[in-house]
């Protein structure tokens, strides 16, 4: 596939599946055979959840960091936002033995959620700093980007800048209680789902608060919304009267994933 040099591309939750990621990027023309950025001036956005469940979360982060610096050189841009598994890994790194809930430490909870010892062992100061500075939400052209299909962002502010500042402060401190509360709030999902009577209205209000004409998110594997097994999920799920786009293919559940090219809807 030839890359659209002014294109806007998205990839959802990768969860350590680096080989699938390479395959996706190669297929979209965003990565060449030497595994270097070939996206020219295109924009590529990752929706968080780089680690846990799959085999090589640190490898995924390394590749994204590499693409970020290479893309700049050709006028492109690679951006990434914070998932919930990314701060979950940090909680296991900073507070491994700290009690989380009855009889469980932070590290226990991370392991129960697919944490990989191999990722924890390879986590460097550079990775930590990168994770600590990921924005929780972004506006790219006319698209609002979050990891989660959840209202938790309201708890941190009414603008993108205040939300990113508040969540960034928790990770940069790091603030144990704030981190536990953030991870707890990140268990929310399906806030805008068609299964809810008020899903569309909530999506409208969410976009009204933060901006953008469509919300692109990950976090909830599409198969959990449609019942279709993840191995058959090859495209995004557009729902809530077209206001929401779910980009979580469920790569850890067996999907090969997909690259989504957003069309600008400027009128
Ligand atoms: Mn996820």
What is the reported pLDDT for 96? Answer: 97
Taking 70 as the pLDDT cut, the residues of the chain under it are 1, 264-267
Interval between CA 246 and ligand 1 midpoint (Å): 11
Pairing of strands 237-239, 244-246: antiparallel
What is the reported pLDDT for 12? Answer: 98
Cα separation, 267 vs 212, whole angstroms: 13
What is the reported pLDDT for 2? Answer: 78
What is the reported pLDDT for 4? Answer: 84
Q: Is the dihedral of CA 99, 179, 48, 86 positive or negative?
A: negative
Kindly report, residue by residue over 2-56, the tens digit of the pLDDT.
788 789 999 999 999 999 999 999 999 999 999 999 999 999 999 999 999 999 9
Residue recorded with tokens 């990921």:
134
- CA angle centred on 19, ends 25 and 232, rounded to 5°: 80
Interval between CA 214 and ligand 1 midpoint (Å): 20
What is the reported pLDDT for 265? Answer: 53
Interval between CA 59 and ligand 1 midpoint (Å): 17
Q: Which domains does the chain show, CATH number per domain?
A: 8-262 (3.60.21.10)
Residue 208 and residue 234 in contact, taking contact as beta carbons nearer than 8 Å: no
Interval between CA 182 and ligand 1 midpoint (Å): 15
What is the reported pLDDT for 267? Answer: 38
Ligand 1 (ion): which residues have CB within 5 A? Answer: 13, 49
Strand order in the sheet with 43-46: 77-80, 43-46, 8-11, 260-262
pTM: 0.96
Interval between CA 148 and ligand 1 midpoint (Å): 9
Interval between CA 15 and ligand 1 midpoint (Å): 7
Residue recorded with tokens 């295109």:
42
Percent of the chain as helix, strand, coil, to the nearest 5: 40, 15, 45
């Amino acid at each position: 596939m030839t890359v659209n040099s002014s294109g806007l591309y998205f990839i959802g939750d990768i969860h350590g599946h680096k080989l699938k990621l390479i395959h996706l990027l190669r297929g979209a023309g965003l990565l060449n055979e030497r595994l270097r950025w070939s996206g020219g001036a295109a924009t590529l956005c990752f929706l968080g959840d780089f680690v846990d469940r799959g085999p090589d979360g640190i490898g995924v982060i390394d590749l994204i960091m590499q693409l970020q610096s290479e893309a700049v050189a050709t006028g492109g841009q690679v951006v990434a936002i914070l998932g919930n598994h990314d701060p979950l890994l940090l909680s296991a790194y900073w507070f491994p033995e700290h009690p989380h809930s009855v009889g469980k430490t932070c590290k226990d909870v991370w392991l129960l959620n697919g944490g990989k010892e191999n990722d924890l062992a390879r986590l460097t100061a550079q990775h930590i700093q990168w994770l600590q500075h990921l924005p929780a939400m972004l506006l790219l052209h006319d698209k609002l980007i979050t990891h989660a299909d959840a209202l938790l962002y309201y708890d941190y502010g009414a603008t993108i800048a205040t939300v990113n500042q508040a969540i960034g402060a928790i990770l940069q401190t790091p603030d144990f209680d704030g981190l536990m509360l953030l991870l707890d709030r990140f268990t929310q999902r399906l806030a805008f789902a068609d299964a809810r009577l008020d899903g569309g209205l909530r999506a409208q209000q969410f976009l009204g608060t933060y901006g953008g004409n469509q919300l692109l998110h990950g976090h909830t594997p599409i198969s959990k919304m449609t019942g279709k097994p993840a191995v058959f999920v090859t495209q995004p799920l557009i729902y809530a009267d077209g206001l929401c786009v779910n980009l979580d293919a469920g790569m850890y559940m067996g999907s090969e994933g997909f690259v989504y090219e957003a069309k600008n809807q400027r009128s």
